[in-house]
C-alpha cells in the first residue's frame, strides 16, 4: 500500500514538472517571437530613416544645382556687362533701371509681353550713392495702420548725418487707391523735410505685375493664405530690385515695427566691426524677414532664388533654405550642418527692431508676438 502511494506521488511530481517545463518552453518561444518581431520593426525603421536621409540629400542636391545655375547666370550677366563697358556702351539710366526687372519675365510668364516692367514712382528725388537703403512694404490693414509710428521711429532715431547717407523706400503693395492716397498724404504732411531732401521715397506696385493665379476662382481660407504668402514674396522682390541701385547695403523692414534708440548707429558700428567680408547676410532681428541686411550687389541672386520658389515657401523660409544650401558642405550630415550654420550666422544681439503689429496684413489674422 505504501509503495503504491509513493509511486502515485512520484507520478504526480513528474507530471507537474513536465507541465511546468512545457509552460516555460511556451513562454520562451513567445518571448523569442516577440524579439524577432521587434527586430523586424527596428530594421524597418532603419530602412525608413535611410530612405528619408536619401530623400533629404536629393532635395539638398536639387537646391545646390539651382544655386549653381544662379551663380552661372550672374557670372554670365557680369561678363556681358563688362563687355558692354569695354565697348563704351552707356545705356540711359531709366533703361538700366527697367532692365533689372526683366528677370521677372522668366519666373512670371504673364509679363513676357509687357514692354516695360517697373513700379510706379510716386515720391522720389532720385537719391542714390548712399550707404544704406531701408525698404518697407506696406498694405492696407483695414482700420488699423502702424506705418506712421514705424516711419517715425526709423527716421527720428537717425542723426542728420545718418539721414543724409540713407534713403527710406516705402512700397505700397496694395491696389486700393484710397490707401495709396492716405499713405502719400500722411508722408507729405508728417515728413516734409525728408521728402524734400530725397531721403524718403514712395513707390507703388502696379496690379499687372501679379499673376492671376494669386486669385483663385473658388478661394478658400487655405488658398487665400497661400496667395497672401506668395504675393508677399513678390512684394519683397520688387522692392529689392528697385532699391538695388541706390545704396551699398539694403535693410529689409516691415510696416509694423518700432526701431530701437540709436539703432542706426549700432547697426553701422556692428557692420564696421565685422572682421571678415565673407558674410551672406546680417541679422538685426530674429523674427521673420525683419531686420535682414544684404549687400545690394547680392540682391539679384537672392531675388532670383526667391522667385524660383515663391509658390512653395514664405520668404523667411526661403532665405533659411538658401543659407543652408550655400553654407553647408555636401559631406556634412544634417546635425553638423545645423551646428555650423549657428556658428557662421552673423547676428546682432539684442534685436534692434520691435514688432508691434497685432493686426496682420492677412485679413482677419491677429499676431501677438512682439519681442524679437
**Can you say whether the dihedral through the CA atoms of 262, 264, 270, 273 is positive or negative?**
negative
Q: What is the pLDDT of residues 318-356, one digit of tens each?
A: 998 888 888 787 777 778 787 777 777 889 999 999 988
**What is the predicted pLDDT for the residue at 242?**
96
In contact, 342 and 250? CB cutoff 8 Å: no
Out of 23-37, 64-78, 82-96, 110-124, give the one with best mean pLDDT.
110-124
- Residues 338 and 38: their CA atoms lie apart, in Å, by 32
Beta strands in the chain (DSSP E): 120-123, 130-138, 166-172, 200-204, 247-254, 257-259, 282-283, 292-295, 346-347, 353-355
- Residues 369 and 42: their CA atoms lie apart, in Å, by 41
Report residue 364's pLDDT band, with 50, 70 and 90 as the boundaries: very low
Q: What is the pLDDT of residues 95-123, one digit of tens each?
A: 456 678 888 999 999 999 888 899 999 99
**What is the predicted pLDDT for the residue at 367?**
52
Higher pLDDT pick, 16 / 176: 176
Q: What is the pLDDT of residues 225-266, one digit of tens each?
A: 788 889 999 999 999 999 999 999 999 999 999 999 999 999
The number of beta carbons lying within 10 Å of the beta carbon of residue 321 is 18
DSSP 298: G
Higher pLDDT pick, 262 / 79: 262
DSSP 276: -
Torsion of CA 95, 251, 306, 208, to 10 degrees: -50
**What is the predicted pLDDT for the residue at 1?**
62
Question: Would you state the cell numbers that stand for residue 243, as one nine-digit string?
Answer: 532699391
DSSP H helices in 112-220: 147-156, 160-164, 177-190, 192-197
**What is the predicted pLDDT for the residue at 91?**
37
Whether 370 shows a pLDDT value over 60: the answer reads: no
Strand partners for 258: 354
Report residue 287's pLDDT band, with 50, 70 and 90 as the boundaries: confident
Q: What is the pLDDT of residues 201-226, one digit of tens each?
A: 999 999 999 998 776 556 676 777 78
DSSP H helices in 244-328: 263-272, 299-308, 315-327
Whether 195 shows a pLDDT value over 70: the answer reads: yes
Residue with cell 519683397: 236
Q: Is the peptide bond before 346 cis (omega within 30 degrees of 0)?
A: no
**What is the predicted pLDDT for the residue at 137?**
95
DSSP 366: B
State the distance between the two ends of the chain, measured CA to CA, in whole angstroms.
96
The number of beta carbons lying within 10 Å of the beta carbon of residue 216 is 12
Torsion of CA 191, 193, 197, 198, to 10 degrees: 10
Amino acid at each position: 500500500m505504501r509503495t503504491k502511494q509513493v509511486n502515485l506521488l512520484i507520478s504526480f511530481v513528474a507530471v507537474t514538472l513536465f507541465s511546468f517545463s512545457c509552460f516555460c518552453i511556451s513562454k520562451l518561444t513567445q518571448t523569442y517571437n516577440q524579439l524577432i518581431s521587434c527586430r523586424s520593426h527596428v530594421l524597418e525603421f532603419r530602412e525608413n530613416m535611410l530612405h528619408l536621409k536619401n530623400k533629404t540629400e536629393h532635395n539638398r542636391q536639387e537646391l545646390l544645382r539651382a544655386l549653381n545655375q544662379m551663380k552661372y547666370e550672374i557670372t554670365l550677366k557680369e561678363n556681358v556687362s563688362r563687355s558692354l563697358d569695354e565697348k563704351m556702351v552707356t545705356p540711359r539710366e531709366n533703361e538700366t533701371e527697367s532692365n533689372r526687372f526683366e528677370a521677372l519675365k522668366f519666373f512670371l510668364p504673364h509679363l513676357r509681353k509687357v514692354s516695360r516692367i517697373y513700379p510706379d514712382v510716386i515720391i522720389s528725388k532720385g537719391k542714390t550713392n548712399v550707404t544704406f537703403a531701408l525698404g518697407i512694404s506696406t498694405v492696407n490693414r483695414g482700420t488699423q495702420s502702424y506705418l506712421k509710428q514705424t516711419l517715425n521711429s526709423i527716421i527720428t532715431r537717425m542723426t542728420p548725418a545718418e539721414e543724409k547717407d540713407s534713403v527710406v523706400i516705402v512700397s505700397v503693395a496694395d491696389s486700393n487707391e484710397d490707401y495709396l492716397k492716405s499713405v502719400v498724404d500722411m508722408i507729405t504732411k508728417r515728413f516734409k523735410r525728408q521728402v524734400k531732401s530725397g531721403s524718403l521715397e514712395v513707390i507703388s506696385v502696379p496690379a499687372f505685375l501679379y499673376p492671376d493665379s494669386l486669385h483663385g476662382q473658388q478661394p478658400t481660407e487655405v488658398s487665400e493664405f497661400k496667395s497672401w504668402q506668395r504675393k508677399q514674396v513678390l512684394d519683397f522682390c520688387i522692392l529689392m530690385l528697385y532699391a538695388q541701385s541706390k545704396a551699398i547695403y539694403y535693410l529689409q523692414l516691415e510696416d509694423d515695427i518700432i526701431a530701437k534708440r540709436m539703432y542706426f548707429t549700432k547697426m553701422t558700428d556692428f557692420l564696421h566691426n565685422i572682421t571678415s567680408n565673407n558674410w551672406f547676410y546680417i541679422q538685426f532681428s530674429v523674427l521673420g524677414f525683419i531686420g535682414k541686411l544684404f549687400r545690394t550687389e547680392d540682391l539679384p541672386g537672392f531675388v532670383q532664388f526667391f522667385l524660383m520658389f515663391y509658390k512653395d515657401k514664405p520668404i523667411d523660409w526661403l532665405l533659411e533654405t538658401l543659407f543652408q544650401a550655400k553654407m553647408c558642405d555636401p559631406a556634412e550630415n544634417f546635425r553638423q550642418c545645423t551646428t555650423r550654420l549657428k556658428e557662421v550666422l552673423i547676428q546682432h544681439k539684442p534685436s534692434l527692431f520691435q514688432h508691434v503689429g497685432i493686426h496682420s496684413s492677412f485679413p482677419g489674422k491677429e499676431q501677438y508676438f512682439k519681442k524679437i
